[in-house]
Amino acid sequence: MGEITKISTLNGIAASGDIAIAKAYCLAEPALFFGVKMIEDFAQEIERFRAAIAKSKQEIKKIHDATKIKLGKDNAAIFDAHLLVLSDLELINAVEETVKSQQINAEYALQCTSDRFISMFEQMDNEYMRERAADIRDVTKRVLSHLLGVELVNPGMISEEVIIVAKDLTPSDTAQLNRQFVKGFTTDIGGRTSHSAIMARTLEIPAVVGTKVATERINHGDLVIVDGISGEVIINPTEEIVAQYEKKKADFAAQKAEWAKLVNEKTVSADGHHVELAANIGTPNDVKGAINNGGEGVGLYRTEFLYMGREHLPTEDEQYEAYKSVVEGMNGKPVVVRTLDIGGDKELPYLSLPKEINPFLGFRAIRLCLEEQDIFRTQLKALLRASTAGNLKIMFPMIATLDEFRQAKAILEEEKQKLSAEGIAFSESIELGIMVEIPATAILADQFAKEVDFFSIGTNDLIQYTMAADRMNEQVSYLYQPYSPSILRLVKMVIDAAHKEGKWAGMCGEMAGDETAIPVLLGLGLDEFSMSATSILKARSLIKRLNKSEMKELAQNVLNMSTTTEVKAAITAAVK
């Protein structure tokens, strides 16, 4: 591929492969500025308010219907709640009464009234009522936008091909992007292992994150190229540059077609060593992608997405259906289900957990589950019931001490006993493993290996905790180094510890699908590589060309190197 001329280019982090070329859709929140104003004709002002309510209702109905078709009834339920707020006569009458009695503008009357309702709801004991505060806040914003004649951005309603430009996208924003129209996205902040980046790879949406200045430099409607392979974003390219990138896109498609030929093959190195290539998934819908991309199993099912983008916890039956559909969909292939890993960049607003200064180091994942045992037990019960549908394994996230593992395991055993007493069936041979994503656990892997059935190394977190570099922060992304000898030594400790006890070791952090890391991981003896489904075929094609015995030697060498640069150079030299 020839050198490509660059003009007005931003450099970010290549988050999701492939190239997208389309107009920019800037997702900035519009300013809703207004002050208090005396009005002369209150009847006219009330009419204006009612018209804004009517428009908001129409708009919400449209969003509701589109969401229902795309994401199902449960995800659309939030908009039913918004419609209820707009029909709440107590709120509407209070606004109109304020306009009339104080002779002030509808915007100000609405804001004051809804602030009053919000603080009232927020102080209620009942969790359901507390959640209504968020609905009132959202709806107020929408009505204000109509009163002020300002358009609210709504990525769900985009109906032409665009590239989203945003400061940041939450994982649930990303999940809601309409792939028919959203051709790619670029953000100011975020890293390769932010969950929005991981999700973009699953959805196969080209993305460049962490550009720092995309929202400043790109205007709504600019023509933009997002190159998710190199991490570049080109603003207002010439026709010639567009043609060059179209060629690059076509070359990439041809390369993908080559990889696709490997879909039904096993992953065997050139010297006959088999490893398992599995997919990381977030929802039952992702099973199709895992199969179509030749996944030999699911190495990480991030169940927290089942809990997100909704208003309350999923019931045991809802969870059972989701887990069963994944296990059945994989048709006997292994499925590693990770128990709830909420926290960090994955929030659950309806749990009303206190805001933390360091959410990645806080009350999250297994820590929360051991404390909020009702939530944990409901999930374990659903998992146990689904285990009869195929080959389900359970994995606990963020385990830092053996005590935590033992407690979590004891709770699982209690739930098994309860099910037995009720005569409900579950598999007797469920493997139980842990994520190794905290350095303390990697260092003590020899002790953990005696008690767990398997390890899955979570390098997304393991790297950030080892290097003390936030995985979401593009300013410290230079420290986020998977090929650092210190990370590789930790990985080796975990694999060796597992093997010594006759257990298997996998990896489900993004490093497992990283072309540069794969040769060393193969050499270190990793048994299972779990990655975004879209990386599997490329990884298989690479491993088939590698010789495990040579990679073992390479691994020995790089473990004794002192810098990432040396390691990278040694890998490049060994894998031509």
CA nearest to 304, candidates 337, 330, 352: 337
499 among known catalytic residues: no
User: According to CB under 5 A, which one of 461, 474, 510, 514 is a site residue for Mg ion?
Assistant: 461
Spatial separation of the C-alpha atoms in residues 374 and 209, rounded to whole Å:
37
195 among known catalytic residues: yes
Per CB under 6 A, the segment of 38-46, 73-81, 229-237, 454-462 that binds ligand PEP is 454-462
Check residue 510 for interaction with Mg ion (CB under 5 A): no
Spatial separation of the C-alpha atoms in residues 405 and 366, rounded to whole Å:
9
Q: x/- string (CB under 6 A) for ligand PEP, residues 42-81?
A: ----------------------------------------
When CB distances are held under 5 to 8 angstroms depending on the partner's kind, the choice from ligand PEP, Mg ion, none that residue 508 binds is ligand PEP
Spatial separation of the C-alpha atoms in residues 89 and 96, rounded to whole Å:
10
Check residue 282 for interaction with ligand PEP (CB under 6 A): no
Sort residue 163 into left (φ over 0), alpha (ψ -120 to 50) or beta. beta
Check residue 45 for interaction with Mg ion (CB under 5 A): no
Q: For residue 72, what are its two tokens?
A: 């199902």
Q: Reduced to 3 states, what is the DSSP secondary structure of residue 131?
A: helix
E-state strands within 99-194: 162-166, 182-187
Nearer to ligand PEP, 244 or 379 (CB): 379
Asked whether residue 437 is marked as a ligand-binding residue, the answer is yes
Per CB under 6 A, the segment of 261-269, 409-417, 425-433, 452-460 that binds ligand PEP is 452-460
Sheet of 207-209, strands arranged across = 9-11, 232-235, 223-227, 19-26, 162-166, 182-187, 207-209, 13-16
Check residue 461 for interaction with ligand PEP (CB under 6 A): yes
CA nearest to 57, candidates 84, 97, 95: 84
Cβ at position 198, least distance to ligand PEP in Å: 6
Per CB under 6 A, the segment of 135-143, 442-450, 456-464, 533-541 that binds ligand PEP is 456-464
Q: x/- string (CB under 6 A) for ligand PEP, residues 286-305?
A: --------------x-x---
Spatial separation of the C-alpha atoms in residues 198 and 256, rounded to whole Å:
19
CA separation, residue 296 to residues 24, 274, 280, 283, 528 (Å): 38, 11, 11, 17, 10
Cβ at position 471, least distance to Mg ion in Å: 9
Spatial separation of the C-alpha atoms in residues 289 and 25, rounded to whole Å:
27
3-state helix, strand, coil in the chain (%, to 5): 55, 15, 30
User: According to CB under 6 A, which one of 297, 509, 513, 519 is a site residue for ligand PEP?
Assistant: 509
When CB distances are held under 5 to 8 angstroms depending on the partner's kind, the choice from ligand PEP, Mg ion, none that residue 509 binds is ligand PEP
Cβ at position 250, least distance to ligand PEP in Å: 32
Interface with ligand PEP (CB under 6 A): 193, 300, 302, 341, 437, 458-461, 508-509
Interface with Mg ion (CB under 5 A): 437, 458, 461
Active site residue ranges: 195, 508
Residues in the annotated binding site for Mg(2+): 437, 461
